[in-house]
Structure 1
Amino acid sequence: MSSLNYQHFHLVGIKGVAMSALAQILFDMNKNVSGSDVAEDFVTMDQLKRIGVTIQTSFLEPLPDGTDCIIYTAAHQSKNNPQVQAAIKQGLPVYSHAEALGLLFQEKIGIAVCGVGGKSTISAMIAWVLGVTCREPAFAVGVGSIVGLEKTGSWSEQARYFVAEADEYVTDPTEVDASKRRPRFSYLKPKMIVCSNVLHDHPDVYADLDATKKTFTNFFNSLPAGGTLIIASATGTEYVLREDIKKSTYGTNDEDDFRLEKNTKVENRMIIGRLWHREESFELKLGVPGFFNLLNATAAFAASLKLDIPEAEILDALSSFRSTKRRFEYLGEKQGVRYYDDYAHHPSELKAVIAAFEQWEPDSRKVVAFQPHTFSRTKALFSEFVTALAGVKELILLDIYASAREGLDSSISSKILAEAVQRESPETKITIVANFQDLAEYFRNDLKSGDVCITLGAGDIYQAHGFLK
């Protein structure tokens, strides 16, 4: 990797899913990798242990001997992090995660997957199809693990393609001058972009949906002449694109280039749909629940077809895909109760996952536990959260999980959210617990054999499952 020609990389915030994937890539390049982060466990720990990374649990510790490059994220004060500041004072090269990812894109044919909801799964699906069809890719997917691939970041000199998530969040949210806050995906120069959705998801950096759409439009237009954009038709049509960009749409509309029929069925733990392309139809089968996952698979099908993989090979590969960690992940059965977990944290994601949960487990008592993620998102999208949660028969709400990027906001709380949901849906049974430890206790005392439960949220709610025996 000529653009990052260093030997010992120190990753500040290494336990994050994106940084963990990058650490695995650097490991594949035979680089020395160390890192620092908070002491708590993350979903990435197994991957980091696999590659033997030494992790400091304080940002005040001195940089490891031999460190010659620092990579940081927005999660821990960005450039204001003590270790990053120490590196700058020592004259060491410093890159944001987005800048490092952008340099990797220069080495391969880049496939960037963006959007609010679906980008992790679509990225994993494309990497899976390429791998199963013997077109081994390099990839970086922001999840804890991918079933069957056993890693979330991979690199080889022989790989032709590099598949990676492209995040619209800004590199440095601590930047006082908002005009200098650069979207993370603006550093990437892909040949293909897949976009799953465009929604207002980061009110701390984007004022509204229009501002979000403008940011995505700029990214789409960064494609080179002849570049490919595969975009969900549900995102709308108000994106002004250059004429030399090859655009394809996917969705459920008759005019979509890749059209998924709305009617589906579940047989033998497979969800089955029908996909149309150029007046030809295909049976699309997935071993992961939800119509939204069939849409994700449709996007992966379209991208793979653009890479000249035959339809039959793509469909066969997708039928063997078994999802990623924290994406409608089946965790197993304990005391007769079946448990699932999902990262859903935006109202649109909640609606999709809850609908899939109802379809996948039609005959059981179902309990939904949700941990709102960030005060700013909960407050800005409050009415959408109420709509998404109304109608759930049994709902458990945890206290809002505060991001490392924000402070407390007493004007919004899970109690306020619960009261609003109750007004909208009086028949919903709502329980509030403080944290994942209390949630595990609730599971032990209240759930019975035959029940099913799903935990939702981008915080630490998943850790409740570790307390169950």
Structure 2
Amino acid sequence: MMPTTDLLDDLRPFSPGEIRTMLRPGAVVTDAAWPKTHVRKIHVIRIGGAGMSAVARLALEAGFDVTGSESQEGRFLPPLRDLGARITVGFDAANIEDGTDLVIVSTAVRADNPEVRRAHELDIPVIHRAAGLAGLLKNRALVAVAGTHGKTTTSAMATLALRAAGAEPAWAVGAAVAQLGANAGQGSGEFAVVEADESDGSFVAFAPSVLVLTNFEADHLDFHGTEENLRAVLSAFVARLAETNGTLVACADDPGSLAFARDARAAGHRVVLYGEHPEATWRIAADRSSAAGAHVDIDAPDGERLNLSLRVPGRHNVLNALGVLAALDILGISREGVLTGLAEFAGADRRFQVAGEVRGTAVIDDYAHHPREVAAALAAGRERAEEGKLVAVFQPHLFSRTKAFTREFAEALSSADETILLPIYPAREDFDPSIRSEDVATLIDGSRVLDAADLPDYLASHARDARVILMMGAGDIVDVSPRVLEALEASGA
């Protein structure tokens, strides 16, 4: 595994004021945008990830000839093969077939990848995933969803709401969504919805008609280096609204997004705010939510009172839905249709997803990997547990993130009745001996660190009385949940 610093080394030197973005040509990427020349055949390196498989699916549905490679088999590969993609497990220069016009990569692809080297030898353009998405979705009225948290859920909500209102949008989101049938699709209408990822600054590839900003906090500093750099690239993304005469729709209840909205308005951009904040024009008037779901009265800017109902729990999801309602209203989409679609939304994969239930104990998977996401997931878990016991199981994601937010993770996890941590999932980073899950655990009374192999039996013995076991993290913790359910079932209690 390449050290994290190699990625930053690939990006240097930056000119003063230049934003950090993986669209910038460097050791891997050679072109910042979709080529203007005719493209027929595309090769996708690391085609099996959620984001890269979305690019491949859109290309296949648009009629492109698609090849791809991945390090191992995965759940996104069979559907792509069914659509006609030729996929190889393992990376080899021979995977770049004759006639390939374009190679698309993710940030995880390094310069020493043999397929990257071969593409460079053949002068085949290499572009980043976001540039690929932008090219595949051009000529659509684009709704982009950005923010530190809530992007996948909000993007999926927007897609389903457009469908319910009679539109057939294209979409690309960061997880599988059962109600959509896939994590991406070309659709047939004039609209498109895309989850805009800030982690590598690549979202500046998009020029949206509407940009929804759910929130803003410091994250992904392993790439951006500083919060100021992250703020600069988000500002550059907001600036792209000028190209479409677009609108920024921002959550006024989040200090970070509110600050961006004020700056954007001062810079001359059209801005719409939502939430409970006094500056919001799409405002929550009354909240009658319960563990069974959300029921909220909304005041629209024109004075109409609307009723929003959701099947997914949590205040954060109320705000996500409100952002969708505001964004699609700008595009002239029927409010009634949008509300119908939002009411039908059952959640995205690993977004407070019930993996199973055994004798009154629900095992719930959630992708939360930032302190604020952990806090929101636990708040929803508390609603679900009601007066019962809530057990949090958390797998920290990235050594750098765990080090940056050690205390914040501990504070968020302390709201559970019992907390168990798994070892840090390194993802793209090398092992860092200076930070461990134990550093978080020592700040939480009664918490412990367990290996994933030991977790199922421990929970079967010590957490059988829990109403909710909440499994959180962006790593492979999702693979442990089925074993937890099996252990609970076998315990017979």
The answer, yes or no, to whether TM exceeds 0.5 is: yes
Whole-Å Cα distance in 2 between the matches of residues 85 and 251 of structure 1? 49
Relative to structure 1, the CA distance from residue 34 to residue 253 in structure 2 (aligned partners, 3 Å threshold; closer, same or farther) is same
1:237 paired residue number: 259
Structure 1 window deviating more from structure 2 (94-103 vs 239-248): it is 239-248
Verify: 1:22 aligned to 2:47, yes or no: no
Whole-Å Cα distance in 2 between the matches of residues 453 and 84 of structure 1? 43
Q: How far apart are residue 188 of structure 1 and its match?
A: 1.3
2:299 pairs, out of 276, 286, 301, with 276
- Does the residue aligned with 2:212 lie in a helix, a strand or coil? strand
Whole-Å Cα distance in 2 between the matches of residues 258 and 81 of structure 1? 48
Q: How far apart are residue 410 of structure 1 and its match?
A: 0.6
Verify: 1:135 aligned to 2:157, yes or no: no
Whole-Å Cα distance in 2 between the matches of residues 333 and 266 of structure 1? 20
Q: How far apart are residue 390 of structure 1 and its match?
A: 1.7
Verify: 1:63 aligned to 2:95, yes or no: yes
1:462 pairs, out of 478, 482, 488, with 478
Whole-Å Cα distance in 2 between the matches of residues 66 and 104 of structure 1? 22
1:198–1:212: 8 Å Cα contact kept in structure 2? no
1:118 paired residue number: 150
Q: Map 1:4-43 onto structure 2 (within 5 A).
A: 5-39=38-72, 41=74
Verify: 1:100 aligned to 2:132, yes or no: yes
Q: How far apart are residue 219 of structure 1 and its match?
A: 1.1
Relative to structure 1, the CA distance from residue 450 to residue 54 in structure 2 (aligned partners, 3 Å threshold; closer, same or farther) is farther
Runs of 4+ in 1 over 6 A off after TM superposition: none
Structure 1 window deviating more from structure 2 (88-97 vs 62-71): it is 62-71
Q: How far apart are residue 45 of structure 1 and its match?
A: 5.0
Deviations 1:66-101 (A, max 9, x none): 461211101132x44221111111222321112212
Whole-Å Cα distance in 2 between the matches of residues 316 and 310 of structure 1? 10
- Does the residue aligned with 2:222 lie in a helix, a strand or coil? coil
Relative to structure 1, the CA distance from residue 291 to residue 346 in structure 2 (aligned partners, 3 Å threshold; closer, same or farther) is same
Percentage of pairs with the same residue: 30
2:420–2:449: 8 Å Cα contact kept in structure 1? yes
Deviations 1:215-264 (A, max 9, x none): 21121111126311101121232553265421101122122011125744
Scaled by the length of structure 1, what TM-score is found? 0.88
- Does the residue aligned with 2:296 lie in a helix, a strand or coil? strand
1:430 paired residue number: 447
2:44–2:103: 8 Å Cα contact kept in structure 1? yes
Structure 1 window deviating more from structure 2 (200-209 vs 61-70): it is 61-70
Relative to structure 1, the CA distance from residue 37 to residue 372 in structure 2 (aligned partners, 3 Å threshold; closer, same or farther) is same
2:390–2:466: 8 Å Cα contact kept in structure 1? no
Whole-Å Cα distance in 1 between the matches of residues 136 and 356 of structure 2? 37
Structure 1 window deviating more from structure 2 (355-364 vs 102-111): it is 102-111
Whole-Å Cα distance in 2 between the matches of residues 302 and 4 of structure 1? 37
Deviations 1:319-350 (A, max 9, x none): 01111101111222246532211111111111
1:185 paired residue number: 203
Whole-Å Cα distance in 1 between the matches of residues 470 and 233 of structure 2? 33
Q: Any unmatched runs of 5+ in structure 2? A: 1-33, 487-493
The one-letter amino acid paired with 2:438 is K
Q: Any unmatched runs of 5+ in structure 1? A: 171-182
Scaled by the length of structure 2, what TM-score is found? 0.84
Whole-Å Cα distance in 1 between the matches of residues 293 and 224 of structure 2? 38
2:58–2:136: 8 Å Cα contact kept in structure 1? no
- Does the residue aligned with 1:222 lie in a helix, a strand or coil? helix
Whole-Å Cα distance in 2 between the matches of residues 117 and 106 of structure 1? 26
Relative to structure 1, the CA distance from residue 440 to residue 49 in structure 2 (aligned partners, 3 Å threshold; closer, same or farther) is farther
- Does the residue aligned with 2:321 lie in a helix, a strand or coil? helix
Q: How far apart are residue 392 of structure 1 and its match?
A: 1.6
RMSD across aligned C-alpha pairs, in angstroms? 2.3
- Does the residue aligned with 1:237 lie in a helix, a strand or coil? helix
- Does the residue aligned with 2:131 lie in a helix, a strand or coil? helix
Whole-Å Cα distance in 1 between the matches of residues 298 and 289 of structure 2? 13
Deviations 1:129-176 (A, max 9, x none): 111221000111111x112111111114x4201110111222xxxxxx
1:189–1:222: 8 Å Cα contact kept in structure 2? yes
1:72 paired residue number: 105
2:31 paired residue number: none
- Does the residue aligned with 1:266 lie in a helix, a strand or coil? coil
- Does the residue aligned with 1:377 lie in a helix, a strand or coil? helix
